[in-house]
């Protein structure tokens, strides 16, 4: 049987002690640090797409990548501590 992908966030990130939090791989999970800067795997991928688009010579392809990234970022809703919901602005 194939085990599903899992990752465990350190409890201190959520202000919870002695408790492991299971995070599903595909969900948009945000780790909030003390400086209130949120980072997720999806955002890293999107930012890399921006960088790739800068090296694309085909203008149509470049526009398509940037538009898809912008659309993704605008529609992104992130969860802070599992209670409040806010729209992310980069």
Domain boundary assignment for the chain: 6-87
Q: What is the pLDDT of residues 22-52, one digit of tens each?
A: 443 333 344 443 334 455 555 666 666 666 6
Q: Is the pTM of this model over 0.75?
A: no
Residue 89 predicted with pLDDT over 60: no
Question: What pLDDT was estimated at residue 63?
Answer: 73
> Percentage of residues in the chain with pLDDT exceeding 70?
8
On whether the CB atoms of residues 22 and 42 are closer than 8 A, the answer is: no
Q: By C-alpha distance, which of 13, 6, 19 is closest to 79?
A: 13
Q: What is the pLDDT of residues 43-85, one digit of tens each?
A: 666 666 666 656 666 777 767 766 776 666 555 555 444 444 4
């Amino acid at each position: 049987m194939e085990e599903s992908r899992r990752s465990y966030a350190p409890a201190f990130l959520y202000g919870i002690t002695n408790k492991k939090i299971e995070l599903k791989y595909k969900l948009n999970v945000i780790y909030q640090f003390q400086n209130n800067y949120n980072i997720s795997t999806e955002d890293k991928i999107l930012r890399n797409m921006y960088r790739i688009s800068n090296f694309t010579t085909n203008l149509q392809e470049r526009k398509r990548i940037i538009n898809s990234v912008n659309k993704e970022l605008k529609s992104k809703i992130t969860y802070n501590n599992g209670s409040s919901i806010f729209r992310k602005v980069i």
